[in-house]
Amino acid sequence: MPFDFNGKKVLVTGAGGGIGRALAIALNEAGCKVYALSRTKSTLDSLVAEHPKIVPIIADVSNWNDTRRKLEDLEPLDGLVNNAGILEEMCPAIDCPKDNIVTVLNTNLLGAINCAQVVAKKMIDSKVKGSIVNISSVAGIGAFPTNLSYNVSKAGLDMVTKQFALELGPYQIRVNSVNPTLVMTPLVTNLKEGLAYEKVFNARTPMSRVAKVEEIVGPILYLLSDYSSMVSGQMHPVDGGLLSNIAVKV
SS3 content of the chain, % helix, strand, coil (to 5): 50, 15, 35
How is residue 76 annotated by DSSP? P
Active site residue 150: yes
What 3-state DSSP class applies to 117? helix
CB atoms within 10 A of CB 205: 21
Going by C-alpha positions, the residue among 183, 193, 181 that lies closest to residue 236 is 181
What single-letter amino acid sits at 53? K
Task: Indicate which residue of 121, 154, 192, 222 is catalytic.
Answer: 154
Contacts of 150 by beta carbon, 8 Å cutoff, 6+ apart: 87, 88, 104, 108, 137, 139, 144
Active site residue 53: no
Scored b (16 or more CB within 10 A) or e, 40-75 reads eeebbeebeeebeebbbbbbbbbbeeebeebbeeee
CA–CA dist 137, 238 (Å, integer): 9
77 and 119 Cβ atoms separated by less than 8 Å: yes
79 and 133 Cβ atoms separated by less than 8 Å: yes
Task: Indicate which residue of 8, 150, 192, 197 is catalytic.
Answer: 150
State how far Cα 63 lies from the chain centre: 17
Q: What are the residue numbers of the active site?
A: 150, 154
